[in-house]
Structure formats: structure tokens, C-alpha cells
Structure 1
């Protein structure tokens, strides 16, 4: 089970993009869990609509409220992992932070000193992608570890990004929408029904053709049997009279 979360930093606004399967767990039945996170953290949380595999979850607030909301989300994902059967290995939580490319150097630090410091202080694994994400000026920063280590790591990174704002205009990363599985299923069902109907029509035509051939053969057989009988009967009548 891979838990993937994408986070975008803009001042004190954090935009989290979760895989579609994870959103249901965060929202909860009838939205009960997301309401609990909003109430207890004090952060504003909005979840986008759409057909993308990843749904955009926007968390807005101070560093304290954002960290608290983020911590509750991590705790829920950790709980979901613990609920897996014992036969399934428990992987660490994996998150992808989407950071403007101009801020990535601040996370790495001169000669990689800053990122090494964060790793040692939090126990989380951090990797900064060398390439920008498609159609954007942002790069992915992948964080893996336990819920607590990721929350600590997030607190450090958030502080760094607030102290070193992005330079210039940032083209944000946006996941591309995928096909609608409902429409695809409907189209496939319609195509299957059409193919089945064609096959049935072909079978009916073959059966009708076969029946016609049988009728013609029967008629020919009757003609072959009747003609000699008729001739023999006429000859008998002629001789009798």
C-alpha cells in the first residue's frame, strides 16, 4: 500500500493532493472526520472535485494550525496502515511535497548540509527531485517515515519555505484528469451488447439458411419417392383394365 500525498507551499497556504482512495479515509463517513480535523486544528480545509486520481486538499492557516491539521491527517493514514492484515508488510507513509524550484535550494542547503540536518533531526527520509514536474516550475520533495517523523520534517520544511519565499512567478503543478470509469464502463457495455446482438443475428440467419436447405432436401426426396410410385400405380391400373 503506497500512501502518496502531494503538498504545495505558498506562504502559509499548503495544498495537499491525495490519491483518490485516500480522500475517502480523510473525509470519513458523511464528512465526519474532515469536520473533526477542521474543528480541532482551526485550519480551513477544502477538498476539490474532479475526476483526477489525486484530489486537491487545501489547508490554510498559521504554521501551528496547519501543522496540527497535517498531523491529524498523518495519524489517520498511519491508522489505516495499522489496520492492514498482519500478513501484509507495513510500509512507511510516503508523501510528495510540491515546492517551487526556486525554493528547493533552501531545503538542500549548501553542499546538502540543510537536508542532512533535517534527516538527522527528524528521522525521516527526504529526497528532492532534480527535474521539474510536467507543465510546471515546481519539483517534488519526497518524504517517507512514520507519522511523527513526517510531521516533524514538515514543520522544519514549512519554516524554511516561509523564511525563503519563492522568487518570480510560479507555474503550479496540476494533476491531469483521467477517463471517467463510469462512461468507459457504459461504452464497453454498449459495445459488448452490440457485438452480442450481431452474433445472435448471424446465428439466426445461419439457422434459417440451414432450415431452408433441409426443406429443399426433403422436397427432393419426396419427389424421388413419389414419382416411381405414381408410375407403378398407373401401370397397374392400365393392366387391370
Structure 2
């Protein structure tokens, strides 16, 4: 679905998921006008819902933005200074989620308030994002269909809808990335996962060995990186304590074959792109 309003292009993701992503592209003035129309429409819906309601206090208009995690630090500012400034100058409530959205490197930024406060807030957020571009590759958040089984077969990912297997291009890309970037050699395992099994496959465990000088890249500051990998892959990951005299650490990954392979790929990518803590 593509529409043009005030020179901005609006793209709405497919409607088979509980959530849908609205992407607005164009000059900043056009983007602000489009956001203003959206906020006003939300306010109309709130007013309509209160017509026959016994609720006396009017709830605020709420938008949830999807922002690359690498830009959220600039949005928050040192010691929370920037986000505090935005709250005080616009009157809007702004919250940046601590965790990334599933299977992505993006975080949710929730804005609530009056339509005018929201549009002023969006303006300031856009300024910050323009001044601080994303760092590294961004894996976009894509809502999943509600409880749709997934299978991996023939190098592709499929979601099961009724009696049909529907190709899922985003999961296929993750599958191909995992296969193209072999992880650290697992103990007793030479071939990464992703067999033709659905999401209900019983969990299994795989063990990896990682050099001590790279373990900091995997863990991240105060465990931030390993928590991101857990969130994105859906796998459970445990890192063994250091053993005296050993130059390696043992990492145990538990989950479905798909979870394990994605976790292995993300661990491998972390050690090659992140500086040690």
C-alpha cells in the first residue's frame, strides 16, 4: 500500500500481522504534516471511543516509533539529558525501550501526549536522527503473523497458513546469512542447523568454544550484547566461567535448530564488528 500526502510517501506493511509498520518517506516538512494527520486521526478515534464510555479522563494520543538501536544513544543523550530536554520542551512523554524489538536491531520509542506535543516531539527526534546516522547494518523489525508455524526447507523459510506454505523472504535472508557465515566450530557438530523442521521442534543444545580475548565482544558492556543476541535469536545462551590455564570459554546455546543457527551467526558477527569491553 503506497500513498502520497503532502509530498511524503506512506507505505503500510501487509495486514496479516497483529502489528503493521507505517513508513513515511520524504522531505522533513512533508513527514511532519503526515505525522500530524496521523496524530489527529488517533485523537478522533479516542474521542469516538469515549462517546458512550463512563471514563472521565481522556487518554493521550500514543505513537510507537521504530528507531535503529545505534541511534538511541544520541536520542537519550549523556545521562538522559537529550530525552529530558525533548520532554520538557514539547510536553510529550517519551520512552525508549531498553530491549530491541524481536529479530531486529531496532528499538521502540513510545511518544504520548496531545497531537501538537507529539508532532513537536517527532520534529526533535528527526533532527537527532539526521545528526546521528545509524552505525553499522540495521536489521529492520518485521512483525510476525500470529502463531504461524515456520518451516525451513530447500534453503528457504516458509510460514504455514492453512493448507499452504507461504515463502517468507525476511526469514529466508536470515537463514542464508547464517549459512554463509559459519560460526565457531561447535563441539561435536560440524554442520549448522536449519533443517526442514517447523517451529515446534524440540529444543536441543550446542556448545561453542570462543577465545578469551573475544569473549568481551560477545558479552558487551554489562551484558548488553549477549542480551541482544538472546532477544534476536530466541535462543538461551550460557557462557561458562573462565577456567584457569584455558585460553577459551565454553558457550552453550539451547533452542530450536533455527534459534541456534541464528544465535551462532550473531555471535560470529559480534566478534568481528564489536570492540571488546
TM-score by length of 2: 0.49
1:55 CA drift (Å): 2.1
What CA distance in whole angstroms lies between the structure 1 residues aligned with 2:35 and 2:24? 8
Change beyond 3 A, Cα 1:109–1:147: same
Which residue does 2:38 correspond to in 1?
73
Residue in 1 aligned with 2:54?
87
Unaligned runs of 5+ in 1: 1-26, 28-33, 185-241
Matched, 1:45 2:10: yes
How far residue 56 of structure 1 moved from its aligned partner, in angstroms, is: 2.4
CA contact (8 A) 1:51 1:179 kept: no
1:170 aligns with 2:138: yes
Deviations 1:63-87 (A, max 9, x none): 1100101101111111111122252
CA distance in 2, matches of 1:113, 1:151: 20
Q: Could you say if the C-alpha distance between residues 128 and 48 of structure 1 is closer, same or farther in structure 2, counting changes exceeding 3 Å?
A: closer
C-alpha change, 1:157 and 1:119, in structure 2 (3 Å) is: same
Note if contact 2:7-2:27 (Cα within 8 Å) is conserved in structure 1: no
Does the Cα contact within 8 Å between 1:50 and 1:177 map onto a contact in 2?
A: no
With structure 1 as the length reference, what TM-score do the two structures score?
A: 0.56
Q: Which residue of structure 1 aligns with residue 125 of structure 2? A: 157
Q: Larger relative contact order (C-alpha < 8 A, sep ≥ 6)?
A: 1
Runs of 4+ aligned residues of structure 1 deviating over 6 Å after TM superposition are: none
From 104, 108, 111, the equivalent of 2:76 is 108
> SS where residue 90 of structure 1 aligns?
coil
Aligned residues: 147
Greater per-residue strand proportion = 2
Which residue pairs with 2:29 in the alignment?
Answer: 64
**C-alpha distance in structure 2 between counterparts of 1:113 and 1:139, whole Å:** 19
- CA apart distance, 1:179: 5.4
Gaps of 5+ in 2: 149-160, 163-277
Deviations 1:16-59 (A, max 9, x none): xxxxxxxxxxx9xxxxxx96xx34x2211222323101222221
SS of the residue 2:20 aligns to? strand
> Is 2:124 aligned against 1:124?
no
Which residue in the other structure is 1:55 paired with?
20
| Aligned-residue CA RMSD (Å) | 2.1
